[in-house]
Amino acid sequence: MAKGYRASVTPKSVRTTAQDETLIDIGKVKHQAEDYFEAHKMTILGVLGGLVLIVGGWLLYKFMYQEPKNKEALEQMYQAEFLFQKDSFELALQNPGGGFAGFAEIAENYGGTPAGNLAKYYAAICCLNLKKLEDAKKYIEDYNPSGLVMPILKQGILGDIYADLNDNDNALKHYEKATTIIENEFLTPVYLKKLGVLKEKLGDKAGALKAYKEIKSKYPDSSDGNGIDKYILPLE
């Protein structure tokens, strides 16, 4: 062995003692865990049993109740959707005919299903077009959006409803949410323009100009970006 080099070897007796202490510690923890379980056995088993019931109940609800109800709601909604596409909003909302339910009835009777939730969105649009603004607000507030598009539309529709109700503060609030909640190349400029137009109407020229310029800088190729200069130039 070269001079100055000292081998780093732990004596066998030291290693054995350390191993024994580790085994003792593990044994102690094991006994403590067993003692804790025995002392709290009923509570622990009760919690576990409760979790099993909750999970089992949810699965039972989903597959034995919600899925069949959702399928039934989708079948009922077929005629209302067809009329909606033809802008027959009154019929789509209340009386599609042919034994089918309208969006209002589906939203009421199947509200806990995905199809019933979608019916609330449709019902809100129908009511907005029919100028039933309070009903429209109720339906869209109850609607639970998901994905990358529907949360924007919910906020934008609320902005439209409040604008029609001349509640400008709430209209501005929801238009601003619609432009910031999720960025979307098609919808964001739509609501930026609505935000700008309302701000301009209320005399906030700086706020309107900011909204219009954001459309020009970020969404120049959108339908609202095309021709946005005619909104910008009078305010500069």
What structural domains does the chain harbor? Answer: 50-144 (no CATH), 146-236 (1.25.40.10)
Check if the beta carbon of residue 161 is closer than 8 Å to that of residue 137.
yes
CB distance 219 to 191 below 8 Å: no
What is the rounded CA–CA span in Å between residue 169 and residue 61?
42
Return the minimum-mean-pLDDT range out of 61-75, 95-109, 163-177, 200-214: 61-75
Q: Whole-angstrom Cα distance, residue 109 to residue 101?
A: 10
The predicted structure's pLDDT at residue 213 = 97
Mean pLDDT, residues 206-233:
96
pLDDT of 7 > 60? The answer is no
- pLDDT of residue 8 exceeding 50, the answer is no
Q: What is the pLDDT of residue 46?
A: 52
- Alpha-carbon span 164 to 182, nearest angstrom: 24
Q: Is 88 helix (H, G, I), strand (E, B) or coil?
A: coil
**For 226-236, what is each residue's pLDDT tens digit?**
999 999 999 99
